[in-house]
Amino acid sequence: MATASSSPDSALDSLPLGKRELVVLLALLMSLNALGIDAMLPALDEIALDLGIGEGNERQLIIAVYTITMGIGCLVPGSFADRYGRRPIIFLALVAFALLSLVTAMLTHFETMLAVRALTGLLGAGLMVAPMAIVRDLYEGDAMARMMSTIAAVFISVPVFAPSLGQAIMLVGSWRLIFVALALVAAGAALWVWFRLPETLTEENRQQVNLPVIARNMVAALFNRQSFGYVLGTAFLMGSVFGYVNSGQQLYQEAFGVSDATFPILFGATAAMMSFTNLVNSRIVMRFGARRVSHFGVLVFITVSAVQVWSSYAHPGNIAWFLPLMSVNLALLGFLGANFGSIAMQPFAQIAGSASSVQTFFRMFGAAMVGMVIGQQFDGTPIPFAWSLLMCSSTALLLVLYSERGKLFRRLNVQPPKERIVP
């Protein structure tokens, strides 16, 4: 057995994989759900035509149903991950994701596709929960925020290339090949986990699987005041992003007249900003603290969103105004998501799985519901979406103020990285 030292990365000393490999592997696992959403954005028109869907907002349900059930599914795997370990949960989620992706590739009815997409999101939720629990097993405090930012910088790059990947696949075949590709990626990830990722849950942190224990752990993980505002605040911020994803194809092509070939490029370019700022955040968070960075970020997000509302009225249909502002909004999320998540998880070292489950549920389910509402408000202009950015970010600020008892920019004193023993 090896005992960790005082270095933030000392918890990795006894693992068979180094920090870089761990980052890429966890990012791959967490990005599979994002890939299952963004890769098909260029295919929505073809899917709608093939399955007999009209030209309205109904096609957005292919995305919205997936994100909603993924959020619901996050409630379950964390408690089992606290009892049986992180690896079994990851394997089950990968197998379900791969098999159901292959099933989706063979469907011919819209209603059946929605049902299978819902099941895929439900069973694939473990890929959101277990990796976060692994990070909490190994890190805490600002060191956890740094690690989460580094991981996020990798997996957030998925929206950058996923639409273009989907578009490229459709050049050689139909939209069905996109789901075959998703299944192959999941299978490759399962092999990587099998050979390289050890179990990070220690025996002393294993929890019993019974309803009273699960309920107690989940209630503690959600209603802790330090966590509550950050969890729900993230849900509203992510909800604005989900609204962007849900209505992105219509927003770009109908509101701004962007061509089929240009849409994936512009969508990916805005998403690239999140990856860049997550890298920046991973460099500065240890110096300034997760709270200071994220509090400043949400205030700037509100300001940029207000400008976005003004421009949607003053320059309707002008993508030259929308695109830079949207890029800045998404860039600011790089200073918010990982920091909010690490602050919310900080109090729960011994129940990291349950905490990850309930917090991810409220983040993902809440964001999916908010995103679906935003997407369905699309009226051919960017105005409803611009207002949603402003309202979601303002609500997030109020929730953070609740958790921080009205005081922003504090940096709490946290214990140095824990002495971690890895079997």
Helices (H), 107-175: 110-123, 126-138, 141-155, 158-172
Structure tokens at 389: 């950015």
Task: Please tell me the distance from the alpha carbon of residue 55 to that of residue 65, in angstroms, as a whole number.
Answer: 18
pLDDT at position 417 is 40
pLDDT at position 190 is 94
For residue 422, the cross-strand partners are 2
Helices (H), 75-123: 77-84, 86-104, 110-123
Number of neighbours of residue 3 by Cβ within 10 angstroms:
11
pLDDT at position 165 is 85
Structure tokens at 269: 């370019």
pLDDT at position 117 is 92
Cβ 151 vs Cβ 23: under 8 Å:
yes
Instruction: Supply the Cα-derived Rg of the chain in whole angstroms.
Output: 21
In the chain the domains, ranked by start, together with CATH numbers, are 18-413 (1.20.1250.20)
pLDDT at position 423 is 32
Residue position matching structure tokens 């194809």: 249
Please enumerate in sequence order all residues whose Cβ is within 8 A of that of 279, keeping only pairs 6 or more positions apart, or say none: 149, 150, 153, 334
Task: Please tell me the distance from the alpha carbon of residue 406 to that of residue 389, in angstroms, as a whole number.
Answer: 22
Number of neighbours of residue 412 by Cβ within 10 angstroms:
13
Cβ 234 vs Cβ 393: under 8 Å:
no
Low-confidence residues of the chain, pLDDT below 70? 1-15, 54-56, 155-156, 159-160, 209-210, 349-350, 352-353, 411-423
User: Of 202, 194, 185, which is closest to residue 81 (Cα–Cα)?
Assistant: 202
Residue position matching structure tokens 């129940």: 351
pLDDT at position 12 is 55
pLDDT at position 348 is 75
Please enumerate in sequence order all residues whose Cβ is within 8 A of that of 199, keeping only pairs 6 or more positions apart, or say none: 85, 86, 87
% the chain with pLDDT above 90: 26
How many residues are given for the chain?
Answer: 423
